[in-house]
Chains A and B, each alone.
Chain A
Amino acid sequence: MADLTTIRVRLANNLATIPGLRSAAEIPDNPTPPIGVINLESVDYDGAMQGGLTTYSFVVTVIVGRAAEREMQRKLDSYCQPTGSQSVKLAIESDKTLSGEVYDLRVERSSGMGSITINDQNYLAAEFTVTVLA
């Protein structure tokens, strides 16, 4: 039986393999960009008999910095690439079983690129949808 907290932590660990990007398994009060935050969106139970498959849907929010800075847009672009050293998809999928904790995972899409407001500050951010089978 997979442990949800362990899944969060190991997703954050995978994300942190991107040079220069912090990661947080739980939502921080005051995130310091650039940072990727792991948020659990939904859990689908009973995908197989006797609890044989649970599907977790995570949204990883990557916050890069002040929305007004042009450099931040380029940084966000690099995080959204499907490949490369800055690719969020590649980093999260670098260990698709999270050290044996889950069956498989996939970063399905990135979306919502734009500004978000945290503590009255505008930041540039993007969301990555991650499906985890456990």
Chain B
Amino acid sequence: MAKFVVTATTVTMGGDDISTACARAELVINAAEVETTDFGSGGFTEVIGGLKSGTLSLDFHQDFGSGAVSTLFLDLVGTVVVFTLVAGNGTAAGTDTPLYTVSALITSFTPVSGAVGDLGTFSVSFPTTGAITYATS
């Protein structure tokens, strides 16, 4: 695998492929810092990894067509939806194109946005719930 320019991350939501409406995709996996500093830490703080969490951020082009991305989001606020992302410009899981699967809580949706002359877009950022898994085959 070489370095690459992002042009074709595959993104699905609830089984629907929404890649061609998506302009940016980002999945962040975090671990909480749990402090273990004590009198033996030599004047420095010490931490260990705590609970893991994730954030899924996506930018979309607004589209209210039948089955289009904005229509798919209409009734999903407050629900948990499974997203998959294939990185590395792939369309299926592979060693160079890992497939990430996350469940995310749809905490918000912005159906109306934009100034005159702008491309209609909306951005979302959701907390993940449960384990984030990845596969390479």
Which residues of A are at the interface with B, using a C-beta cutoff of 8 A? 46-53, 103, 106, 108, 133
- Partner among B8, B63, B117, B119 whose Cβ is within 8 Å of the Cβ of A50: B8
Is B117 within 8 A of A49, CB to CB?
Answer: no
21 of the cross-chain contacts (CB-CB < 8 Å) are: A46-B7, A47-B23, A48-B20, A48-B23, A49-B6, A49-B8, A49-B9, A49-B20, A49-B22, A49-B23, A49-B25, A50-B10, A50-B19, A51-B7, A51-B20, A52-B19, A52-B20, A52-B21, A52-B23, A53-B61, A133-B119
What is the CB-to-nearest-CB distance from B20 to chain A, in angstroms, rounded to a whole number?
A: 3
Cα A130 to Cα B117 in complex, Å, equals: 12
Q: Which residues of A contact B61 (CB under 8 A)?
A: 47-48, 52-53
Q: Which residues of A contact B10 (CB under 8 A)?
A: 49-50
Q: Which residues of B contact A46 (CB under 8 A)?
A: 7
By secondary structure, the B interface counts as: mixed
What is the CB-to-nearest-CB distance from A104 to chain B, in angstroms, rounded to a whole number?
A: 9
Q: Which residues of B contact A51 (CB under 8 A)?
A: 7-8, 20
Cα A97 to Cα B44 in complex, Å, equals: 63
Cα A100 to Cα B112 in complex, Å, equals: 23
Q: Does B11 contact A (CB under 8 A)?
A: yes
